Structure 1
Amino acid sequence: MKISKEKVYDKNGYRLHILPSKKYKTVSIVAKLKSPLKREGITERALISHVLQKATQKHPDVRSLQSALENLYGTGLSSDGTKKGENHVLSFRMEVVNETYLTNQEPILEQALQIFSDVLFDPKVDQDSFDESIVNREKQTLEQKITSIKDDKMSYANMRLIDHMCESEPYALHVHGYLEDFKDITAKTLYDYYRSMINRDLLDVYIIGDIDESEMEHLADQYFSRPSSDNSDDHQVSEPSTKREVNEIVEREEVNQGKLHIGYRTNIKFGESDYFALQVFNGLFGGFPSSKLFMNVREKHSLAYYAASRFESHKGLLLVFSGVDPKDYKQAKTIILEQMDAMESGDFTLDQVEESKEQVINQLQETMDNANGLIEVFYHQMLSGKEMPAADIMDNIRKVTKEDVINVANKIELDTIYFLTSQEGGEE
């Protein structure tokens, strides 16, 4: 949904996205670095997103860099790594006070862009190596993050579902990397990878706020231009080679509550004509508190502590999450699968379709009310190569019929059933 007034420019080594808007009191700047998901280098990428925001050549330690940001009226800086389909995306975000609201009219935005540029392109380096103490400290932080996933049983069960469901596909790779890689990563090897990454990855820079478009274009060229490199739009997609039998896995851990997670293939991607109906389908199936999963699995039968669904837009997956007592596994599984059967047969009302459409639209509007949410909407569109005005997206959702939802339901294929249960419990 190409929001009105968004301007996109192909620049020297990056794409610039500008959205002048008086809606926000701050200016949001987001840089996204995209590369295909690969086992080799994924841990380095996850680590780099932490290391880069800790020090630059001009601000060579955490305290100095944080002080510089604080002096710019508490400018915020953060980063993370995510999977978008079968691509790995590192996002660096900065939120800056709009200098037009300041009494002294300091060039706050340009100073912030200078720091942002230094974080990306001029990190603290000594003799072609990152700072060893920073790298070691961020290794520990990342190790804790990877290890803690197992403590969050819902996240762990979701990770294990994807491990099994997408076993031979890049999407199965873990976005935070792998502990076994740490022993081979040094400050020097990490810097070598960074140099390759910063020139090779596709870079998109988004700037949103009450800004002057021509001024922003000039400043962005000054701070984000890169030398010409071999980067190209290497967005990749792989599919399972053949349709397989439904895979059912039970794994045992010490858990208080069983985690029943189910994976489906939607066969529908962001930007395809059925995508709007898929959004409405998910609302009816498990996306909202009024959905079939919530009402039937949790409320009516009291079989689940929670029951919901979400879909992955660029990979074409629908994931069901539920927390159940181990003794209720078979019954809960049966009732969840029955909700999909009900969707396929059209066992829902026109009023429920209309309610789901309004909920989807409200959710989308809430997302776009937030600057970072709006940037994610832009980025989703760009990855899919399908752009349209926000109003057209809303109209397409409103046009979804009950028959459209039924057609979507019949395209969806059950792939993997995963149950994480206690040693004492089981699937009886």
Structure 2
Amino acid sequence: MHVRIRDGVTLDLLPTKKFKTIGIKVDFVAPLQATAITARALLAQVLETSTAEYPTQTALARQLSRLYGASFGISVVKLGTKHVIRLTCSVVDEQYLEQYQDTMPLFERGMALLQAVLFAPLLPNGNFDPTTFTQQRQNLLTAIKSLDDDKQYLANRRLQELLFTGQPAQAMSALGDVTTLGELTANDILATYHEMLAHDAVHVAVIGNVSEKRVTTALAAWPLAERLEPTTEPYYRWTARSQVQAGDDEAPVVQAKLNLAYQLPIYRSDADFLPAVVFNAAFGGTPLSLLFTNVREKASLAYYASSDYNPFTGALTVQTGIQAQNQERVIAIVTEQLQALQAGKLSAELLAEVKASLLNARLASLDSPQRQLTGALNSGLTHLQEPLTHWQEKLAQVTVADVQRVAQQVSLQATYCLHGKETGDANETRV
């Protein structure tokens, strides 16, 4: 059920008695701008830790405990041309609590908590608390730096920087960059906060055994003014380069990380979107895929090999863990798998298996409140509301020729290898 609350503010209600909890998600969606990413990420950190009523993380945690172990968090997400500040809260449906005696139901108390976080933050003297601000800036700095400890993440980020050279908003992490972070002040974050409340598109989604009236009544108490409806699409469209960008770095790693990036100019609202999903599943997106079977299992050239398709950026990436001296051989065999699909060499058996795998994954998502809530935003941004039965029928109709047509649009754009010293790599053994 999709409801327009007011201009720029929408509600997706997913009524169900399947779960013993009620999940709430509030997305503040703004255009993706490199100059704003870091400030919005820091704002999320600051808002998550305190409110005027609950001025410390301990006080906020105690309130969550009073709400019978409610969960709460704020995160940031990049989605094509959009940057999202996401608040989530999950509360128990009190009908499953034998001793619940509070006059206000837990859903309304959860909504009241989110209201306090958003509209009554800790602002002594009209600005964010200096101690909280400084601590959360340091915490975000630590979080950004710690991401590089994950060498696969680091390799993928470096690959994105190659792929989107000259486009810092696309190349940058959703958490921002350390240089900008060090320059931000509490005044900057306050301005970002007011900008978010006044101008971001707001998408609210609720899943559980709750009526539309209860949700809209709770939202009516939130001082959300009308704002301009978003006019730009969520898709980042870009022109493929004629020359492949290549990069490599040395790091203290035992296992080299070889990642490749391609353009796949098919987006979520395109007619070939579902064939593109099937192509990715057959190429490297599932354990049944050609990359997993031929690069990892048969050739024993990789510790892992997989692909990922982003329908908001039109990018396809391949991730592999290899011995550095095998880099050229791995690129060659990955290319062979792509060329096979471009030539229509996909067995009916593998096509059926990957389609069954995608269907099972879609059905499994129905058991995850969070995945359903996230799907509501994707549908809202793309204006695509597709019933499961319709999606299932379209999936069944995807043919080898459809996959081949998609594969023929794929073009290699960048390669990146993060590797150790050559002597170290030479001593590795296959696992």
- Normalised to the residue count of structure 1, the TM-score between the two structures is 0.94
Structure-1 separation of matches of 2:181 and 2:159: 25
Counterparts of residues 108-119 of structure 1 (less than 5 Å): 108-119=106-117
Greater alpha carbon shift after TM alignment, 21-30 vs 145-154: 145-154
Q: Who is 2:301 aligned against?
A: 303
Residue in 2 that maps onto 1:139: 137
CA deviation map 1:269-321 (0-9, x unaligned): 11211111111111111111111101111111111010001111211111100
AA partner of residue 134 (structure 1): T
- Displacement of 1:11: 2.5
2:333 to 327, 332, 335: 335
Alignment correspondent of 1:120 = 118
Could you tell me how far apart the structure 2 residues matched to 1:389 and 1:228 are? 30
Q: Which residue of 2 aligns with 1:59?
A: 54
Distance 2:398 2:8 in 1: 40
- CA distance 1:85–1:335, shift in 2 (3 Å): same
CA distance in 1 between partners of 2:124 and 2:384 (Å): 44
Could you tell which deviates more after superposition, 150-159 or 95-104?
95-104
Relative to structure 1, the CA distance from residue 250 to residue 137 in structure 2 (aligned partners, 3 Å threshold; closer, same or farther) is same
User: How far apart are the structure 1 equivalents of 2:158 and 2:31?
Assistant: 21
For the residues of structure 2 that align with 1:374 and 1:185, how far apart are their CA atoms? Answer: 35
Superposition map of 1:29-428 within 5 A: 29-103=24-98, 104=100, 106=102, 107-169=105-167, 170-223=169-222, 225-230=223-228, 232-241=230-239, 243-424=241-422
- Kindly report the root-mean-square deviation, in angstroms, between the aligned alpha carbons of the 2 structures: 1.8
Amino acid at match of 2:334: I
Question: What secondary structure does 2:422 align onto?
Answer: coil
CA contact (8 A) 1:307 1:322 kept: yes
3-state SS in 2 of match to 1:52? helix
Using the TM superposition, give the Cα deviation of residue 369 of structure 1 relative to its aligned residue in structure 2, in angstroms: 1.8
The CA distance in 2 between the partners of 1:326 and 1:237, in whole Å, is: 35
1:81-128 Cα offsets, whole Å, 9 max, x none, are 111112111111100011222333532221111111111221110222
Q: CA deviation at 1:9?
A: 2.4
Letter in 2 for 1:274: D
Deviation at 1:241, TM superposition (A): 4.2
C-alpha distance in 1 between matches for 2:347 and 2:125: 67
> 2: distance between equivalents of 1:14 and 1:56?
23
Q: Deviations over 1:202-247 (max 9, x none)?
A: 1101011011222222112223x41234563444544334532122
Q: Could you report, residue by residue, the CA deviation over 1:360-389 in whole angstroms, capped at 9, with x for unpaired residues?
A: 111111123211101122221222222221
Aligned-pair identity (%) = 29
The total of aligned residue pairs comes to 422
| Aligned mate of 2:20, from 7, 25, 38 | 25
Alpha-carbon distance in 1 for matches of 2:391, 2:308: 19
- 1:3 alignment partner in structure 2: none
Q: Report if aligned partners of 2:258, 2:319 keep a CA contact under 8 Å in 1.
A: yes
For structure 2, the residue ranges without an aligned partner over 5 or more in a row are 427-431
The answer to whether the Cα contact below 8 Å between 1:38 and 1:173 also exists between their aligned partners in 2 is: no
In 2: Cα distance, 1:245 partner to 1:74 partner: 54
Secondary structure in structure 1 of the residue aligned to 2:160 = helix
Q: One-letter code of the match for 1:25?
A: K
Q: Contact 2:76–2:174 at 8 Å: present in 1 too?
A: yes
Taking the aligned partners of 1:351 and 1:231, their CA distance within structure 2 comes to 46
Output the CA distance in 1 between the equivalents of 2:140 and 2:41. 8
Deviation at 1:42, TM superposition (A): 1.0
Q: Answer whether contact 1:125 1:131 (CA < 8 A) is retained.
A: yes
- Equivalent-residue separation in structure 2 for 1:282 and 1:182 (angstroms): 36
AA at the equivalent of 1:54: T
CA distance in 2, matches of 1:295, 1:242: 29
Gaps of 5+ in 1: 1-5
Give the secondary structure class of the aligned counterpart of 1:41.
Answer: helix
What residue is the counterpart of 2:429 in the other structure? none
Take 2:8 and 2:341, find their aligned partners in 1: how far apart are those partners? 47
Q: 1:12 to 1:149 in 2, by over 3 A?
A: same
Contact 1:271 / 1:381 at 8 angstroms: preserved in 2?
no
Helix, strand or coil at the partner of 1:388: coil
Normalised to the residue count of structure 2, the TM-score between the two structures is 0.94
Q: Once the 2 structures are TM-superposed, how far is the Cα of residue 45 of structure 1 from its aligned partner?
A: 0.6
SS of 2:366's equivalent? helix
Contact 2:11 2:203 in 1 (8 A): yes
C-alpha contact 2:309 2:315 (8 A) present in aligned 1: yes
Change (3 A) 1:105 1:362: farther
- Equivalent position amino acid for 2:173 in 1: H
Cα distance in 1 for partners of 2:124, 2:114 equals 20
Q: Distance in 2 between the 1:143 and 1:64 partners?
A: 24
Q: Which amino acid aligns with 1:288?
A: T
Q: CA deviation at 1:22?
A: 0.6
Give 3-state SS (helix, strand or coil) of 2:30's partner: strand
